[in-house]
Structure 1
């Protein structure tokens, strides 16, 4: 659990210290802006931005039933965040697997990517796509509707 929230917590702590430092120097407005920015970045890098993750085996089972893609991701990944933001509400149509929480998911990603945990890895119709273009994924998701 700490690993999932680690990056977000680092941003919160840095924001608090930076805000306190600028506040003590007599510039509380700048400190408040820094704190708000750091809290925003922490929120974006937290697991809250992504739909609820399921295990790899459950995602594969669900995908076999409904034909929706499976996305393997991890918190703090800029490419995963880019994909998530581009999908918008459509992100809920995919099955998300956090490879830091699910060892089976991490093993799937390593098997696909020559031993590397390269994410996002998206499985569409049984075919893996490593770091696909978010626009293409959006088209695939819209085609499923």
Structure 2
């Protein structure tokens, strides 16, 4: 659980340290801007930025019921962040599973990627797709 917060906390801590140095050096505006930038990066790399993560079994059950894809991801992954940002509001239609919180999910990803934990791995109708294009994925979402 603490592993998912390491990168966001590190970004926030670095932002505070550098901003303090800039503020004491006589650049309060630059310090404030740097602190805002680091806070934004920390927030985007935190689990808070992604929709609520489900367990792998629950996500598969929900996907079977409503036909929505399951996205296996992990915090700190720039490709997962890219997918989340480019999907925009439609990202909430997907079932997100954090592989660092669910060992079963990590096993699903390893089975789909020849033993590697390559994310994002999206499962649509039981078939895995590794790092799909967001536009391609958006086109395969069921109609609301």
TM tier relative to shorter chain: over 0.9
Render the CA deviation track for 1:6-63: whole Å, top value 9, x for unaligned: 1110010000000001111111111111101000100110111100000001111111
Query: Partner of 1:113 in structure 2?
Result: 113
CA distance in structure 2 between the partners assigned to 1:48 and 1:6 by the alignment: 13
Cα RMSD (Å): 0.9
Corresponding position of 2:23: 23
TM-score under structure 2 length normalisation: 0.97
Whole-angstrom distance in 2 between the partners of 1:89 and 1:138: 11
Aligned match of 2:32: 32
Aligned residues: 144
Deviant stretches of 4+, over 6 Å: none
TM-score by length of 1: 0.96
8 Å CA contact 1:68–1:144 kept in 2: the answer is: no
Instruction: Identify unmatched segments of 5+ residues in structure 2.
Output: none
> Where in structure 1 are there 5+ consecutive unaligned residues?
none
Equivalent residue number for residue 3 of structure 2:
3
Correspondence for 1:101: 101
Conserved in 2, the CA contact under 8 Å of 1:86 and 1:138? Answer: no
